[in-house]
Chain A
Amino acid sequence: MASVARSSALLKQVAAKQSVAATGLRVAAFHTTSRKSLLPPLPQRIEGTVNDPVEVPPTSPSHGSYHWTFDRVVAAGLIPLTVAPFAAGSLNPTMDAILAATILIHSHTGFTNIVVDYVPSKRVPKARKLFTWGLNAATVLVGLALYEFETTDVGLTETIKRVWKA
């Protein structure tokens, strides 16, 4: 009878599902194209349920658009400061110190952007903390070194000029 024929296919499916379930593999595999492992998806983590809306990040005066604007203001301020030594030949110590300090701040914010982009705190929280505080410590050290260099030596622009023309 036709119903018997259909039912036998159903029975085979039942047997198959039971054997798959018995081995513990319950996830279906896709094989439509060859799998290339270029940047495979990261370990997936579902926080809450799949029906929860995306969380709005908390507002912060120091981590929001003011931060971005500060970055751009420092970068824009570096333009005349960098053109000046080329135009004037050399800089007096005060201007040199201002240039060095602005370069330091620019480097620090640039490195912070790199750390924020490539070390996400949700995935590697300890590494993120390590890099952030390491960067802060390095910036303080470099600030100290630049202070020493400006006061006991000839200064940044003068050194570069002398080495360049050596």
Chain B
Amino acid sequence: MIAQRAGTTALRRVAAAPSSVFKLAPLAMQTRTFQTDKLTPAEASALLAQQRLKRPVSPHLEIYDPKQTWFGGSAWQRITGASFSGALYASAVAYLAAPLVGWHLESASLVAAAAALPVAVKGGLKFLVAWPFVFHAINGVRHLAFDLGIGFTRATIIKTGWYFWGASIVGGLYLAFFM
């Protein structure tokens, strides 16, 4: 009995004393091994912002239907409108700068320059100007109808989109070669 008590006392003493031999001593004493960190709200927000950057991004451009992303009416409405207005702005500024730089951009010079081009180039350039014009015009009417709520369902938008693409090409060809 004395030997047993001596054994348990010895164990207790070993468990209580920090020792390099018996490394699991702290666990036998049920000490906490995890600590909570104290973060200020700013640090916590910064950590959240960092973590958000590491989250996986759902696939978007690589899986979406290219017929809708690349041929969508509103995207091309913007592209054609911006190219037309950009050309207008550029030529207007060039017209203002012409006397200072020595160019001739009056209507008579433009007509003469256009007349001197070969027929194929004339037709091609006219189509390049006519198609965006027709597309923007008829698609603009379509978008105004959308703004009134007419035909604003997904199926209708996709189907009529293709009709308007065809109509704009036909209209552009007509304006370029038959006007």
What is A's interface to B at a CB cutoff of 8 Å?
Answer: 4, 7-8, 10-11, 14, 17, 26-30, 32-33, 35-36, 38-41, 43-46, 49-50, 72, 75-76, 78-79, 82, 103, 106-107, 110-111, 114, 138, 141-142, 144-146, 148-149, 153-154, 158-159, 162-164, 166
Contact = CB atoms under 8 A, between A and B. Distances in A.
Given A38-B61, A166-B111, A75 B140 contact: yes
B162 to A, nearest CB: 23
Contacts of B45: 46, 49-50
Given A50-B48, A138-B89, A30 B60 contact: no
Interface stretch (B9-17, B65-73, B92-100, B153-161): B92-100
B163 interface: no
A13 to B, nearest CB: 8
A103 B93 CA distance: 16
Contacts, number: 125
Given A29-B54, A50-B48, 5 more contacts: A40-B53, A41-B52, A44-B50, A45-B49, A107-B84
B88 A142 contact: yes
B6 interface: no
17 contacts: A4-B24, A11-B27, A26-B47, A27-B51, A32-B56, A36-B57, A38-B57, A107-B89, A111-B85, A138-B93, A142-B89, A142-B92, A158-B107, A159-B107, A159-B111, A163-B111, A164-B179
